[in-house]
Chains A and B, each alone.
Chain A
Amino acid sequence: MATVPAPQTLTHLQRLEAESIHILREVVAEAERPVMLYSVGKDSAVMLHLARKAFYPAPPPFPLLHVDTTWKFRDMYALRDRMAAESGMELLVHRNPDAEARGINPFDHGGLHTDMWKTEGLRQALDKYGFDAAFGGARRDEEKSRAKERVFSFRTATHRWDPKTQRPELWRLYNACKAKGESMRVFPISNWTELDIWQYIQAEAIPIVPLYFAAPRPTVERDGMLLMVDDDRFRLRPGEVPIDRSIRFRTLGCYPLTGAVESEATTLPQVIQEMLLTTTSERQGRAIDHDQSGSMEKKKQEGYF
């Protein structure tokens, strides 16, 4: 044997990347019809980037699915279309036709808006195309019930999650066997933390929605949240006048439901710095998790991602 070169120590980001790529490939090898749920946020950006690396030089052999609510930020739609074109992947956009017909919106319908556009919309889309495995960008460090979910998370034919019958998931062995009509949600970035996501975006120069960086944007303050007036559908209450503030977003969803933070962070290190110096938890900015403890678990049982 020739001289043995010194061992290479992999960084934890390299290990996380390898683990995620392994998961992505397992699903493609075992599922009949996989799809990647693409929400255009930073976690989706990382997941899509990992998929492109996993199957290179082939394009990822599955489509992207955007379950649209029609109320996302305009910048999100722009990046979505750009990334689909760049990756050479098919982009499927699903809008719940019932929600569309009934004009469901975040101003008039509160929780129903999320239920119909997202939870029901996702179920419709998965059924419509017959997807049997859907990649999602959830992380275990986000929320307590996610901390307990498997990487390969089994769903009944009615898309329900039963936390009490989760399959044992040993080593890197994932059991993808399922009956007709049943499906899997698969979370390739389960073990990434928010800081890992940001550091990887920086290391790999992954394109993200500009809204993550501070810029002067028209905002109103409402119910303790700073909301951005992204288009003229935003219904101003009497006396409300949009004011330009230097803001950015820690998470992105429907623009009338997503709270901004005032910020001067215009670069990734500044964003990370601000995040690390913040003393409240990440998802504070999204109205959906506010109602009560255990709400995410309930939503997941019903089929929310």
Chain B
Amino acid sequence: MTDTAYRAPDLVASDIDSYLDQHAHKSLLRFITCGSVDDGKSTLIGRLLYDSKMIFEDQLAALEADSKRVGTQGQDIDFALLVDGLAAEREQGITIDVAYRFFSTDRRKFIVADTPGHEQYTRNMVTGASTADLAVILVDARKGILTQTRRHSYLAHLIGIRKLVLAVNKMDLIGYDRVKYEDIVGEYREFASTIGIDDFVPIPISGFKGDNIASRSDHTPWFTGPTLMEHLETVPLDVTADQARPFRMPVQWVARPDLDFRGFSGMIAAGRIAPGDPVRILPSGRTTTVARIVTHGGDLPLAVAGQSAMLTLADEVDCSRGDVIVRADVPAEVADQFEATILWMADEEMLPGRGYWLKLATQTVSAQLQAPKYQVNVNTMAHLPARTLGLNAIGVANLSTDRPVVFEPYAAPDGTISRDLGGFILVDKITNATVAAGLIHFALRRAANVHWQAIDVTREAHAAQKNQRARLLWFTGLSGAGKSTIANLVEKRLLALGHHSFLLDGDNVRHGLNRDLGFTDADRVENIRRVGEVARLMTDAGLIVLTAFISPFRAERDMVRAMLPPGEFMEVHIDTPLDVAESRDVKGLYAKARAGQLANFTGIDSPYEAPLNPEIRVNTIDMTPEQAAEAIVDHLLIMPA
């Protein structure tokens, strides 16, 4: 037993420093094993660990005892018991969740994700595949290509794994029959080509007996390819490919240790960056340059894809979590409508039209899915019509987001895979469960147009859409003159006529926007300035805006008039004499002012500067409020367009 248990490489004992240096520079291969249940995935991984002498003496002893107690291999070692970690799995003899195993040889380090074979646990298989460089697809030589073989091959390819091994397992149980092996390889090749897999490495193995795993099998002299271990150790890894792409860094978190420092942290998804490089912040599009790459051990001259970095920028631009810092001259795309492949992973089926949280890189937005365009039959690759997607279904659907999203296509036509900016998950807003994974194909043209032409939606276009001219009706007059009463009636009349309007008065402005302002002259000026700015934005949006403020000073009313294009500001003087207003005293304010309880009251101890040439003057002594409103609306609507 001891010769099969863990043993350190000889160099460990003879020269530990050399060994550590060598180990530190080994490359890392992350791979998955997948295939149908009972094809022997866990056994294969157990065998890989065993053959690379990763099993300690005590573990081996426990394994031998467990094998006899609950194993499925009679008195022999059941390697699957090494990896099936959860009690439920060991009892049922199946693998329900992805298990990560670590081993290394003299040439490489490995992280292997052992993924479940049962269809109901496809989401766990996809979890394992999403970070893998290579997939070992296992096939039981007695059974050949099964539904799950196709399904897992399709998923592995879909998720971007381009290095595939077809491990035809349990060769010992078919007497190492070459013809049967080649039939299986041929059948797989035919299937693979239909889903875009043009290259894979077939190997005849027995995980149980160890054939062609770590050493070449005597039973398959006709096989000239590499053993599984040889292939895993030598398959080329293009670890620097991501660095050749344009720079992308989703911002995770902003460091603000003091007022002078703002550091933008994130993992670099693609490309490389150096101080002085011009960058663009998406989705805003603002540009700046990188000032520093800050680390605990001093600033760096360069950072590359795969590193977690902290950048400072030369200018004070808005940038926060969810933004993506990109190379200035090759920005990523920004859109709010996409076509995507959806892998549904929840028991509750997809609800088209419902809002889900969409997480892509560090962005979280609300997203709605349309009904699928089609569902993929994973056995036949046929496109089936579908109204929804259920657990483990894969389909293609359009989706829209409530805000623009910075993205890249998951699989670009040139073969580039953008996992970080092309892959997303959908989260149920009520249960918080991750219900789907998605791979973006492309932005829908409609969204792209709307986004990039946003600047062309003019204030005239806004107004034209509402079949009206934007106007600002500025009601001015003493307290109690009737401004709000008449303005209200005007707005009701406009609504009845199908116009789009909004009334700004003391009630909806003083409590919110201007709650910080009092009644000193300075505050009154600022009050009017803010109301003017808000009213101007609303006229930009094409609305007919009504304001009802005393606005006693000519200068402020003229200031607002100057903010707007000529002809849009209409001064409406509600001309009620002081004695009449004071006699009405609806709110009892004049009495208070006369009693000295209210300072700066217009008309009492603060002046009212009546308009010299108002567009409309309303005499409230001769007219009822209704008549006044009618007159104002008439005047407004006969104004030349």
Contacts and interface: CB of A to CB of B under 8 A. Distances in A.
Contact of B102 (A140, A143, A269, A298): A140
A68 B197 CA distance: 55
A60 B261 CA distance: 16
A173 B5 contact: no
B433 A167 contact: yes
B427 A276 contact: no
Interface string A252-272: 000000000000000001101
A115 interface: no
Interface stretch (A5-13, A127-135, A221-229): A5-13
Nearest to B423: A171
Nearest to A165: B433
A172 B85 contact: no
A168 B123 contact: yes
Contacts of B25: 11
B296 A8 contact: no
Contacts of A270: 16
Name the residue in A7, A166, A172, A173 with the highest tally of chain B Cβ atoms < 10 Å from its Cβ. A173
B306 A5 contact: no
A25 B27 contact: no
B240 A29 contact: no
Interface residues of B, number: 86
Given A22-B308, A57-B255, A163-B88, A9 B17 contact: no
Contact of A25 (B2, B24, B98, B265): B265
B252 A26 contact: yes
Interface stretch (A36-44, A95-103, A279-287): A279-287
Given A280-B58, A293-B66, A170 B130 contact: yes
Contacts of A59: 257
A17 B309 CA distance: 11
B434 A168 contact: yes
A148 B427 contact: no
B319 to A, nearest CB: 14
B92 to A, nearest CB: 12
A146 B99 CA distance: 8
Interface string B291-314: 000111000001010111010000
Name the residue in B16, B56, B109, B239 with the highest tally of chain A Cβ atoms < 10 Å from its Cβ. B16
A18 B244 CA distance: 19
A269 B20 contact: yes
Interface string B256-293: 11000101011100001000000000000000000000
A191 B111 contact: yes
Contact of A279 (B56, B88, B321): B56
B86 A10 contact: no
The bracket for how many chain A residues form the interface is: 35 or more
A158 interface: no
B427 A193 contact: no
A82 interface: no
A124 interface: no
Given A29-B253, A163-B88, A277-B12, A168 B437 contact: yes
Contacts of B600: none
Interface in B41-89: 56-59, 62, 66, 83-88
A190 B308 CA distance: 17
Interface in B185-223: none
A264 to B, nearest CB: 14
A192 to B, nearest CB: 9
B370 interface: no
B126 interface: yes
Contacts of B127: 168-170
A55 B308 CA distance: 11
Interface in B221-262: 239-240, 243-244, 252-253, 255-257, 261
Nearest to B70: A293
Interface string B101-134: 1100000010100000000000110110011000
Interface stretch (A174-182, A230-238, A240-248): A174-182
B294 A269 contact: no
A111 to B, nearest CB: 18
Nearest to B58: A280
B425 interface: yes
A144 B432 contact: no
Given A144-B85, A163-B97, 4 more contacts: A12-B26, A54-B265, A164-B96, A272-B20
7 contacts: A12-B26, A141-B101, A144-B83, A168-B437, A177-B357, A179-B432, A293-B90
